[in-house]
Amino acid sequence: MAPATVLCIGMAGSGKTTFMQRLNSHLHAQKTPPYVLNLDPAVLKVPFQPNIDIRDSIKYKKVMEEYNLGPNGAIVTSLNLFATKIDQVINLVEKRSENLKHCIVDTPGQIECFIWSASGAIITEAFASTFPTVIAYIVDTPRNTSPTTFMSNMLYACSILYKTKLPMIIVFNKTDVKDAEFAKEWMTDFEIFQQAMQSSDELNEETGNGSGYMASLVNSMSLMLEEFYSTLDVVGVSSFTGAGFDDFLKAVDNKVDEYNEFYKAERDRIIKAKEEHAKKQKQKELSSLMKDLGIKDKKAAGVEVLSDLESEDEGEGLVEPDENEFKAERSYTFPEDRYAEIDENTEDDLQARYQSAFEQTAKTADSKTAEDIAKYIRQS
């Protein structure tokens, strides 16, 4: 069975790396060690031992110096370089897949460098097309007590869901500092969120009564995201204490089933549609080329290449072969020996036959011709 791949994504400071460390320790404690990947080229130290580390093959500082890039540009370029070898990474995971239940992946803190870059899409697609893949969106719970900040984070999560088209788990991290029940209530009960929004100091300071443009916008977005919330699994965890990780693993199992039932079928449908589109495009280009050349197709859809085409007018196109062409039979001087090989045993016999044929020819030829033939044979 293919291992479930968990891509840990979240804002800078949300605790992704610490979450990875605790998840790794939790799985080791359950005697099911995961396969661990680090895709953050700019991190100095990681509190876990990765099986594959992007820093082993790509030096972040050298990328900055060589290409004259800033921090974010160097991260994107490093991911681009790493993405060229993603097939080798997938092969390494596949070789260990029989003994694995989970493959966990840490991504860069600059979330846009991974999600909205071509290399991030390539890496995500490579895993999603090979293994059941789940997005774990890590949220910094204490920083999301404000309705506007919370709504901004949920919009980001929504955009990631529709960008990756993969099952998603919202992970409220740092519950040892702030319990995540308020966020779960905001996601399930619109009235409670509206009350929190009306009493928000941030909105009241801006509008005076919490009913201005910002409040109206946040209110509208919360209504829009109701359907988005219904597709998510939500868990609260503490990477510091280890609380909630059993619930997270149960959510991963649920999302793997959802992936196999819905997302995999959808991905197969998309791939098939692309193949059909490419086939139709190829046929359209061929038809356009035939039209440009003034060639009519007599073999309908069976024509694949131009050499299979025939001109409608007999006076144009390819030259018709002669009726007698390729019908003449070969004649052999010694038909009984035409397949025999010449070796040291048959060489004397063959020379005697040549001599006999020469003598027969010499009798019917005049003396000058016979002398010329004899002279030619002696010279040769």
Please tell me the predicted confidence (pLDDT) of residue 360. 67
Residue 41 has pLDDT above 50, yes or no: yes
In a domain, 346, yes or no: no
Q: Could you give the percent of the chain with pLDDT greater than 90? A: 48
Examine the pLDDT at 366 and tell me if it is beyond 60.
Answer: no
Q: Which of 38-42, 139-143, 290-294, 375-379 has the lowest mean pLDDT?
A: 375-379
Give the helix/strand (H/E) hosting 377.
helix 367-379
pLDDT > 70 in the chain, percent: 74
State the pLDDT at residue 335. Answer: 47
Q: In the numeric block, which tokens belong to residue 231?
A: 């597709």
Partners of residue 233 on adjacent β-strands: 169
Mean pLDDT of 316-328: 47
Q: What is the pLDDT of residue 233?
A: 93
Total domain count for the chain? Answer: 1
In the prediction, which pLDDT does 242 show? Answer: 94
| pLDDT higher than threshold 80 for residue 181 | yes
On the question of pLDDT at 78 being above 60, the answer is: yes
Q: What share of the chain is helix, strand, coil (3-state, %, to 5)?
A: 60, 10, 30
d(CA 29, CA 31): 5
Q: Say if 96 falls within a structural domain.
A: yes
- pLDDT band per the 50, 70, 90 thresholds, residue 339: very low
Q: Are 118 and 154 in contact (CB under 8 A)?
A: no
User: What is the predicted pLDDT for the residue at 203?
Assistant: 57
DSSP annotation of 153 reads: H
What pLDDT score does 368 carry?
55
pLDDT at 77 over 80: yes
Confidence of residue 345 (pLDDT cuts 50, 70, 90): low
Looking at the domain assignment, is residue 303 inside a domain?
A: no
Asked if the model's pLDDT at residue 336 lies above 60, the reply is no
Residue 295 falls inside a structural domain? no
Residue 380 lies in a domain: no
Q: Which pLDDT band, with edges at 50, 70 and 90, does 200 fall under? A: confident
DSSP string of 49-96?
--SEEHHHH--HHHHHHHHT--HHHHHHHHHHHHHTTHHHHHHHHHHH
Q: What is the mean pLDDT of residues 264-293?
A: 84
Spacing of C-alpha 304 from chain mean position: 29
Q: Minimal CA–CA distance to 184: which of 132, 176, 175?
A: 175
* Inside any domain, residue 122: yes
What digits encode the pLDDT tens for the residues 230-278? 888 999 999 999 999 999 999 999 999 999 888 888 778 888 888 888 8
Instruction: Note the pLDDT of residue 375.
Output: 63
What's the domain range around 162? 4-267
Give the CA angle between residues 103, 156, 189 to the nearest 5°.
100
In a domain, 46, yes or no: yes
Pairing mode, if any, of strands 4-10 and 35-38?
A: unpaired
Q: Is the pLDDT higher at 147 or at 360?
A: 147
Enumerate long-range contacts of 28-37, CB under 8 Å, 24 or more apart: 32/101, 32/102, 34/3, 34/100, 34/101, 34/102, 34/103, 34/104, 35/3, 35/93, 35/96, 35/100, 35/102, 35/103, 35/104, 36/103, 36/104, 36/105, 36/106, 37/89, 37/103, 37/104, 37/105, 37/106
**Which of 152-156, 227-231, 270-274 ranks highest by mean pLDDT?**
152-156
What's the N-to-C CA distance of the chain in angstroms?
77
pLDDT, mean of residues 95-113:
91
| Per-residue confidence (pLDDT) for residue 272, from 0 to 100 | 85
Q: Flag whether pLDDT at 220 surpasses 90.
A: no
The rounded distance, in Å, linking the Cα atoms of 251 and 323 is: 77
**What's the confidence (pLDDT) of residue 230?**
86
Considering the chain, what is the average pLDDT of its residues? 81
In this structure, what token pair is assigned to residue 249?
């693993």
- Mean pLDDT on 8-37: 94
Q: Which tokens in the block code for residue 298?
A: 């007599």
Q: Which two tokens stand for residue 248?
A: 């997270």
CB count, 10 Å around CB of 91?
10
Say if CB 140 and CB 11 are below 8 A apart: yes
Distances (CA, A) of 214 to 186, 197, 325, 343: 18, 10, 88, 101
- CATH number of the domain that residue 174 is part of: 3.40.50.300
Lowest-pLDDT choice from 68-72, 106-110, 217-221, 336-340: 336-340
Confidence (pLDDT) at 290: 80
Comparing 20-29, 192-201, 290-299, the range with the smallest average pLDDT is 290-299
Q: Give a yes or no: residue 102 inside a domain.
A: yes
